Amino acid sequence: MNSDREAIELISRSLSGELSAEERTRLRSYQSEHEGARILHQWMAAIEHAAEVGAEQTMEDNAAGMSQLSKERLKRLLREREEARRSASTSTASSMPANAAAEALGRVAELETTYYTGYATGATEKAEGDGEQPHESRRCDGRFTLLQEIGRGGLGTVYLARDEVLGRKVALKEMNPAAAKSPRLWRRFYREAQITGHLEHPHVVPVYASGTDPQTGLPFYAMRFLGKQTLADAIREYHARREAGVASKLDLHRLLNGFLDVCEAIAYAHQRGVLHRDLKPENVALDRFGQVVVLDWGLAKLEADGELLARLALSGEDIEVLADDRTLQGDYLGTPLYMAPEQAAGDLDAVDVRTDVYGLGAILYTVLTGRAPHHQTVTADQMRSDVRQVMQSIVSTPPPPPRQINAQVSRDLEAICLRALSVEKAARQRSAVELAAEVEAWIAGRKERASNYEAVRMAGHDLKSRLCVQSRQLGATTRFLTELPPVQELLVAFDRGDPTPSEDASAGNNQQRLRAQDVASPLPMHLIENGWEQHRQRVAAILMAAIRNRPSLASVRFVLCEKEHVRELIHVRRGKLDHGNIRPLPPSQLYYGVPGTFHQDVLAQFPGEPYLQLADSPVFAAVLQCGVAVVDERNEEVRGMIIAEAELRSIAGAETERLQYNATIHLFDLDGHLLYSTGSREVPDEQMASMIEQRWEDISSQLEESSEFLDPAERIYATRLVFPNQNSGITIVVSNQR
Amino acid sequence: MTSPSQQDRVATQDPAEWVDAYADRLYRYAMVRLGDPHAAEEVVQETFLAAVESQDQFRGDGPVAGWLMTILRRKIIDWFRQRQRQPRQADASQDFDQWLDAAGQLRGGKWTQVDPAGKIELRELWQIVQQCLQRLPATLASVFVLHALEHMDSQQICKELEISPSNYWVRMHRARLQLAQCVAEKWEE
């Protein structure tokens, strides 16, 4: 065994129990003399053991499980899937055999019975909070079959119901019998139904029917069933993902777009003279298409001079009930967590459009931080028992800035949010439209910045990938050249002293012949005399053709390795000024001497493995240099190498032209020396290159740790292509053209 | 009162109850193998959904937990297989040779001896191994995890991941070497 490389493979196979006895003996013998391999074996074995034992221990140690939020989401998903599965089985009941059909229907009836918690007898002694009791399913208004309770509040209970006339699911809100005893609450329920029913907007929940159930005497209204997810759920999920580091900008944008839809709905309501007064994420539902719908207009106010109140008056509705806000005097309107200061102060006359702007700002605050604006106030221990103190704090204290809770919030967006949450109404945006316009403008600006950033990032990625491909192709081309039969024939001729005379010998044309006096060190005479020149010229022609076929290839050499020296036998090259001029160098310019570092590195590779590096060339400036060892097929000994050089400027120029991004490209070596630049008319090369050089330490240190660098102003993106030797590579810096 | 094993066998009417009973255990199992909470949640979710769809086929001849675990292991293997199909950007630095010098010898300074004697050190070592596993590319982590944690042999792994034996060994050698380098460095810190 010659190397750690082979030992590593044997160690790995031994850990998988797939080593023969002979291999085990060899490995042990090698390890007895090579401490590094022995220690490596110990580490690998320890890791396997730790993995095996540690995995089991982790299960027993009760390491952190799934988050509660994720569990709740999963349960919801499973219930929906189960419901869909059962519905699918019952929908085929009519085509099923009678017994099976009855069984399926029975399951549906069981579902109705199980989940129904309505007031079948209308008995008023049933209080809120009673546990589920088995009831028979009942109809509401003869038309709706109540299927399942999905929400309950002080005023009413919301059911999932089936509209037997239209055959669809609806949400039905029925007033609680206890609440119905109160004229004050009855009027409130009535207003809620009327207002909700008369707001016709894509983002306001539509009401399908309303009335009073003749059987129970309880008022109700039926509206579109939206499912159970609200904006509050979506916000919670986003912040859970953000904290886990897996949220994307798109997630935030989706929430902000939902917020804009809410603004649109509220702006429409304001236009019709309706104030919501209880805006919060829980009152915004998300339908299955992700569209927002504003719910719960129970605290809505009809403005005295509003269009809707006038319309309702004309249609004969009891406008005294609808317009009378005195029924709610003395109550705190809204939810403390999201309450506007004027609401907290109980000053109902001060409540107007800007109160809803505050409510919208509170929703935006929750989107940005995951918390309600008054979360701190409401949850503080000393506040919990004293509502007045909570309200006083809301009146006088603005909420903490969003960036204090979530440092990732944009300053501009924070400013918009805090303006909407100003304690002084006059400082807020004047309307929902104005607030929406400000948020929309921010989104548009961000998209432009994101678009620019994505462009430079993609340009950088793209170019790195292309340069990598070019490097591999150079390696493949060089390897191909080493495998050509004429190269082997040249070696044979060199060793044997091929007796084949040169074709030109008789013509006396000695210009291309390698003469003893033309080289730095004398060639063996038998080569000169025995005409191996024919073979050399044949290989030279092949190398010239290779250069001709690859525009980026600048030179190719065949180097022979002798005992302590290397000797260039062939060196063909493009002209420095005239790239179309490809010619072999005369013998006097062929290198003969001590092998350099590059030669040694090439010889250290496995046969056929290319060795790549970035190098300076006296002729072509920066080049990609590739060497592949040439193995003599007769005895499998390394006899020399083919070295190919590709001009970096030529490769980079061709690849950057293919990029479809409007960006400036700079290529540096690992030490920050500029190798190539595309430049632009607007931004001179020197300025940008100078700026990059000044920031080189930052760029370089970040690229050491991660694969990318990004300038905070998103004008510069950098990445790095490092060659296997780790000593050379190309730093690609892309900047946005302005 | 029924014994735990009997309770375990009782098929529940509400699959959502499975979440309370088994989600944490499945999640921990997946986290150890995938090293990523998002991925672990994803496979656990897929496990439960698959269980809902196929609950009629569950014969109840074993614990529900065992049945769910079988589905989860399948989902984990599927996850690894899918990750391999994602296109990788060509990167010269992924070569095995970056760990070896020109003479084919291991790079770097002297390695310290391993002496994970005692339970405490083993626990620490496992924590470090988990950190290093997360840094491995998916193609390497998959073969190591399936071998060391799922106790699959090379033939099974090749079949599941649809790779050749030679490809498998190249990946396994690299995975072990990279893990050893990473763990040894972190152990020193």
CA distance A171 to A185: 21
For B52, the closest chain A residue by CA position comes to: A82
The Cα-based distances of A710 to A71, A248, A671, A684, A715 in angstroms read 37, 17, 19, 21, 8
Residue A12 has its nearest CB partner, among B15, B52, B173, at B173
The answer to whether the CB atoms of A65 and B183 lie below 8 A apart is no
B41, pLDDT greater than 80: yes
CATH superfamily of A468-650: PAS domain (3.30.450.20)
Mean pLDDT calculated for residue range B81-94: 53
Residue reference for tokens 């798109």: A250
For A720, the closest chain B residue by CA position comes to: B91
Distance from CA of A122 to the nearest CA of B (A): 30
Hey, is the C-beta of B137 within 8 angstroms of any chain A C-beta?
Answer: no
The answer to whether the CB atoms of B122 and A58 lie below 8 A apart is no
Hey, is the C-beta of A597 within 8 angstroms of any chain B C-beta?
Answer: no
Distance from CA of B73 to the nearest CA of A (A): 14
Residue ranges of domains in chain B, CATH in brackets: 1-94 (1.10.1740.10), 107-189 (1.10.10.10)
Distance from CA of B105 to the nearest CA of A (A): 5
Give backbone dihedrals phi and psi of A383, rounded to 5 degrees, phi first: -90, -25
Residue A43 has its nearest CB partner, among B52, B92, B180, at B180
Give backbone dihedrals phi and psi of A85, rounded to 5 degrees, phi first: -65, -45
Are the CB atoms for A640 and A557 separated by under 8 Å?
A: no
Hey, is the C-beta of A74 within 8 angstroms of any chain B C-beta?
Answer: yes
Interface of B with A in 34-73 (CB under 8 A): 37-38, 41, 44-45, 48-49, 52-53
Are the CB atoms for A219 and A210 separated by under 8 Å?
A: yes
Domain ranges across chain A: 4-109, 132-225, 228-450, 468-650, 662-735
Q: Give the number of beta-carbon pairs within 8 Å between A and B.
A: 182
The answer to whether the CB atoms of A54 and B122 lie below 8 A apart is yes
- Chain A hits for B31, Cβ within 8 Å: 63
Interface test with A, best of B12, B13, B17, B19 (most A CBs within 10 A): B19
Does A662-735 match A132-225 at the fold level? no
CA distance A36 to B109: 9
The answer to whether the CB atoms of A44 and B180 lie below 8 A apart is yes
Are the CB atoms for A535 and A543 separated by under 8 Å?
A: no
Residue B15 has its nearest CB partner, among A49, A82, A246, at A82
Distance from CA of B106 to the nearest CA of A (A): 6
Beta bridge partners of A560: A567, A640
Q: What's A40's DSSP letter?
A: H
pLDDT in the model for residue A726: 65
Distance from CA of A55 to the nearest CA of B (A): 6
Are the CB atoms for A192 and A297 separated by under 8 Å?
A: yes
- Chain A hits for B32, Cβ within 8 Å: 55, 58-59
Interface test with B, best of A66, A71, A77 (most B CBs within 10 A): A66
Interface of B with A in 99-128 (CB under 8 A): 100, 102-106, 110-114, 116, 122-123, 125-127
- Predicted structure pTM score: 0.41
Distance from CA of B103 to the nearest CA of A (A): 6
Give Cα A590 to chain centroid, integer Å. Answer: 54
Q: Is the domain covering A228-450 a CATH 1.10.510.10 domain? A: yes
Query: Which helix or strand (DSSP H or E) is residue B30 part of?
Result: helix B15-34
- Chain B hits for A66, Cβ within 8 Å: 23-24, 27, 41, 44
Fold adopted by A662-735: Beta-Lactamase (3.30.450)
CA distance A57 to A50: 10
The answer to whether the CB atoms of B125 and A43 lie below 8 A apart is no
Q: What's A334's DSSP letter?
A: S
Hey, is the C-beta of A450 within 8 angstroms of any chain B C-beta?
Answer: no
Hey, is the C-beta of A82 within 8 angstroms of any chain B C-beta?
Answer: yes
Query: At A447, is the secondary structure helix, strand, or coil?
Result: helix
pLDDT in the model for residue B82: 81
The answer to whether the CB atoms of A724 and B23 lie below 8 A apart is no
CB atoms near residue A88 (< 10 Å): 9
The hierarchical CATH code for the domain A132-225 is 3.30.200.20
Q: Where does residue A316 fall: left (phi above 0), alpha (psi -120 to 50 degrees), or beta otherwise?
A: left
Hey, is the C-beta of B148 within 8 angstroms of any chain A C-beta?
Answer: yes
Interface test with A, best of B18, B22, B32, B170 (most A CBs within 10 A): B32
Hey, is the C-beta of A87 within 8 angstroms of any chain B C-beta?
Answer: no
Are the CB atoms for B39 and B80 separated by under 8 Å?
A: no
pLDDT along chain A (738 residues), means of 10: 77 83 84 82 86 74 75 82 72 40 32 23 31 51 84 84 85 86 76 85 86 83 85 90 79 89 92 90 83 83 75 65 53 72 84 94 95 77 60 81 88 91 90 92 74 74 83 90 89 66 39 39 52 82 92 93 89 86 88 90 85 82 91 85 92 77 82 78 59 82 80 76 80 77
Query: At A463, is the secondary structure helix, strand, or coil?
Result: helix
The predicted-structure confidence for B147-188, as pLDDT tens digits, reads as follows 998 888 888 889 888 888 888 888 898 899 889 888 888 877
CA distance A120 to A105: 21
- Tokens, residue A349: 């006359």
The answer to whether the CB atoms of B20 and A63 lie below 8 A apart is no
CA distance A491 to A110: 90
pLDDT in the model for residue A510: 37
CA distance A3 to A8: 9
Beta pairing class for A716-722 and A708-710: antiparallel
Distance from CA of B161 to the nearest CA of A (A): 17
